[in-house]
Amino acid sequence: MEDVIKHTGETPSFFQLYLPNDRELAASFIDRAERSGYCGLMLTADTWTLGYRPADLETGNFPQFRGLCMENYYSDKNFTKHLAKPAHEDQAAALQHYLKIFVNSLSWEDLRWIRTQTKLPIAVKGIQHPDDARLAIENGADVIYCTNHGGRQANSGISALQLLPAVVKAAGSTPVMFDSGVRNPTDAIIALALGATAVGIGRPYAYALSYGGAESLTHHLRSFLAELDLCLAICGFQDIAALKQAGCELAVHS
């Protein structure tokens, strides 16, 4: 996490927290995120049990089991102190320990505990139901993140977009971020008009990266923003604020 933040420039960056069941390690992750300059914590709440993912099962795809995506753990003494040998020398033992601490069913009490550990804003990611939005706010969330994890959890589950209006209503003045299935600027415009404060893109960024690295990703994002700007103009809105205002008025009248 300390390496990535150095490259984010002026772009606000969240640290995504999978809360380990080891509180010392959890506190250390939160502290490291705060000290290294992240502007908020993104607490993922919807993947404590993974959905049935045939493509991942077919290829045995879980990067951590191959020792990938583990640097935040391997660079933390609250993780490494439980290992007999350095993590890179005995990855099997390191992963066994990771499996022990990763098993955690997140509760509202955990969210209240995280709240006591940091002044950073906390976004709770994985909210789909208005009651959960209300409970998350009551228990310390500053931002609600409405998502169905890109449809990667429940096959044939209800789309996140359908659930967004009720979540926005329940969240009141609390900002609501949104993702899942945003492929075109028009998708983003619809989510913004339905009350999302910000919209995230998941897989398209990875597709762009795999096609041609950072250059392709930059091109993709620029094209996305240019089309969004054009589409706003064609719909008669000067900017996103005007779109959101019109979305609010529509919601009030419907």
**Active site (catalytic) residues:** 149
Determine if 51 is a binding residue for ligand FMN (CB under 6 A). no
**Nearest alpha-carbon partner for 148 in 131, 132, 127:** 127
Among 182, 190, 199, 228, binds ligand FMN (CB under 6 A): 182
CA distance 88 to 216: 33
The stretch among 6-14, 190-198, 199-207, 219-227 that binds ligand FMN (CB under 6 A) is 199-207
Give the integer Cα–Cα distance in Å for 66 and 70. Answer: 9
> What are the backbone angles phi and psi of residue 40, rounded to the nearest 5°?
-175, 165
Under 8 Å between Cβ of 205 and 217 = yes
Q: How many residues touch ligand FMN (CB under 6 A)?
A: 14
Judged by CB under 6 A, the chain residues 113 through 142 that form the site for ligand FMN are 125
Provide, rounded to whole angstroms, the least separation between the CB of residue 1 and ligand FMN. 13
Q: Which residue lies nearer to ligand FMN by CB, 63 or 236?
A: 63
Which of 19, 25, 26, 44 is the binder for ligand FMN (CB under 6 A)? 44
| Interacting positions 162-181 with ligand FMN (CB under 6 A) | 179-181
* Minimum distance of ligand FMN from residue 14's CB (angstroms): 10
User: 174 and 143 in contact (C-beta within 8 Å)?
Assistant: yes
Within 56-95, which residues bind ligand FMN (CB under 6 A)?
none
Least separation in angstroms between residue 81's CB and ligand FMN is: 25
One residue of 13, 16, 91, 118 binding ligand FMN per CB under 6 A: 16
Q: How far is CA 11 from CA 1, 5, 14, 26, 93, in A?
A: 15, 10, 10, 25, 37
- Residues forming contacts to ligand FMN in the complex (CB under 6 A) are 16, 44, 125, 147, 149-150, 152, 179-182, 201-203
